[in-house]
Amino acid sequence: YKWEAIDSDRNVSYEFKLCESSPSTSCDSSTAVCAQDLTTKTKQSVDLTLKTRSDAVLDFNSSMRCPERSNNVQTSISFQCGKTMGTPEFVDVSECVHYFEWKTYVACRRDKFKPHKEVPCYAFDSDGKKHDLSPLIKLKDGYLVDDGDDSVDFYINICRSL
């Protein structure tokens, strides 16, 4: 899946590739996180090499030095238990570390919210603002479609199997 996040205050778009099987970012295939300034169109990448990993946090380190600092540019993604697949959300950037939070069923200790099938559930509007559609996901059953045929009940769900 293609994962994206937006820092609307700084007008920066982020693309994520957290494993080898994911599609490449617009920076290149070895990039874990690609940040693009939407005003200047310049790109900055963080390599797919993990700096540290724990049960709930992935830290990626780039080879680019942080201006006026001793550390390299980094990305830190904090995973928290959520009812859906979720999506990465930009939190802040401080001292060249870009912080993201991702609420997902993958981070839960039990498989209570794990679906049979789910896809990313967000959309961007024409202004580049990200909209999370996961509140529309039904964890049980689905939405009954009124199609005018009373002989059959037809159910759908958003971004997840029934």
Yes or no: say if 23 and 7 are a contact pair by the CB < 8 Å rule.
no
Predicted TM-score (pTM) of this structure:
0.77
- Coil vs helix vs strand at 136: helix
> Tens digits of per-residue pLDDT, 8-59?
999 999 999 888 888 899 998 888 899 999 999 999 888 766 777 777 898 8
Domain residue spans in the chain? 3-156
Angstrom distance (rounded) from CA 25 to CA 15: 6
Yes or no: say if 48 and 15 are a contact pair by the CB < 8 Å rule.
no
Yes or no: say if 61 and 51 are a contact pair by the CB < 8 Å rule.
yes
Per-residue DSSP letter, 49: -
> Tens digits of per-residue pLDDT, 81-91?
998 889 999 99
Q: What CATH number labels 3-156?
A: 2.70.130.10
Angstrom distance (rounded) from CA 1 to CA 140: 24
